[in-house]
Amino acid sequence: MPFAKEIKKRRTFAIISHPDAGKTTLTEKFLLFGGAIQTAGAVKSNKIKKTATSDFMEIEKQRGISVATSVMNFEYKDLNINLLDTPGHKDFAEDTYRTLTAVDSVILVVDCVKGVEEQTEKLMGVCRMRNTPVIIFVNKLDREGKNPFDLLDELEEKLNIKVRPLSWPISMGSTFKGVYNLYNKSLYLFSPNKKASDEDALPINGTDDPMLDEKVGKYALQLREDVHLIDGVYDAFDRDQYLAGNVAPVFFGSAINNFGVRELLDTFTEIAPPPGDRPATTRIVHPSEKNFTGFVFKIHANLDPKHRDRIAFLRICSGKFERGKFFHHVRLDKDVRFNSPAQFMAQSKSIIDEAYPGDVIGLYDTGNFKIGDTLTEGEDLAFKGIPRFSPEIFKELVNTDPMKTKQLDKGIMQLTDEGVAQLFLQNGGNRKIIGTVGELQFEVIQYRLLHEYSASCKFVPLNVYKACWLTCKDQEKLNDFMRFKSSQIATDKDDNVVYFADSQWMLDQMIKNNPEIEFHFLSDTVI
The stretch 498-512 carries a mean pLDDT of 95
Residue 380 has pLDDT above 90, yes or no: yes
Percent of the chain past pLDDT 70, that is, above it, reads 87
Please name which of 260, 367, 268, 267 lies closest in space to residue 26, comparing C-alpha atoms: 260
Mean of all residue pLDDT scores within the chain: 85
**Band (201; pLDDT cuts 50, 70, 90):** low
Please name which of 456, 525, 448, 451 lies closest in space to residue 494, comparing C-alpha atoms: 525
The stretch 403-428 carries a mean pLDDT of 89
pLDDT at position 47 is 37
What is the identity of the amino acid at 386? I
Rounded distance, CA 478 to CA 500, Å? 15
Instruction: Indicate if the alpha-carbon torsion angle 442, 445, 449, 451 is positive or negative.
Output: positive
Residue 165 has pLDDT above 70, yes or no: yes
Please write the tens of the pLDDT for every residue from 313-331: 999 999 999 999 999 999 9
Residue 42 has pLDDT above 80, yes or no: no
Please name which of 24, 9, 156 lies closest in space to residue 82, comparing C-alpha atoms: 9
Max CA separation in the chain (angstroms): 82
pLDDT at position 88 is 56
Please name which of 19, 251, 26 lies closest in space to residue 118, comparing C-alpha atoms: 19
pLDDT at position 403 is 94
Least confident interval from 225-234, 317-326, 436-445: 436-445
Which range among 207-211, 215-219, 324-328, 347-351 has the greatest average pLDDT? 324-328
pTM of the model: 0.81
34 or 411, which is more confident: 411
**Band (527; pLDDT cuts 50, 70, 90):** very low
pLDDT at position 230 is 94
Residue 46 has pLDDT above 50, yes or no: no
Least confident interval from 256-260, 377-381, 398-402: 256-260
The stretch 183-192 carries a mean pLDDT of 79
Write the CB contacts of 248 (distance below 8 Å, at least 6 apart in sequence): 108, 134, 135, 136, 155, 159, 161, 162, 163, 164, 242
Residue 52 has pLDDT above 50, yes or no: yes
Is residue 297 within 8 A of residue 375, CB to CB? The reply is no
Q: How far is CA 495 from its chain centroid?
A: 28
pLDDT at position 185 is 81
Which conformational region is residue 230 in: left (phi greater than 0), alpha (psi within -120 to 50 degrees), or beta?
alpha
Across the beta sheet with 489-492, the strand order is 457-461, 393-399, 431-436, 422-426, 489-492, 497-501, 466-472, 517-520
Please write the tens of the pLDDT for every residue from 248-272: 999 999 988 888 888 899 999 999 9
pLDDT at position 44 is 40
Write the CB contacts of 86 (distance below 8 Å, at least 6 apart in sequence): 14, 15, 16, 23, 66, 69, 95, 96, 99
Please write the tens of the pLDDT for every residue from 92-149: 667 778 888 899 999 999 999 999 988 788 888 888 888 999 999 999 988 898 999 9
pLDDT at position 309 is 67
pLDDT at position 183 is 84
Helix or strand run (H / E) with residue 31 = helix 23-33
The stretch 70-88 carries a mean pLDDT of 84
Rounded distance, CA 367 to CA 299, Å? 10
DSSP letters of 359-371? -EEEEE-SS---T
List domains and CATH numbers for the chain: 3-271 (3.40.50.300), 278-376 (3.40.50.300), 388-523 (3.30.70.3280)
Is residue 166 within 8 A of residue 239, CB to CB? The reply is no
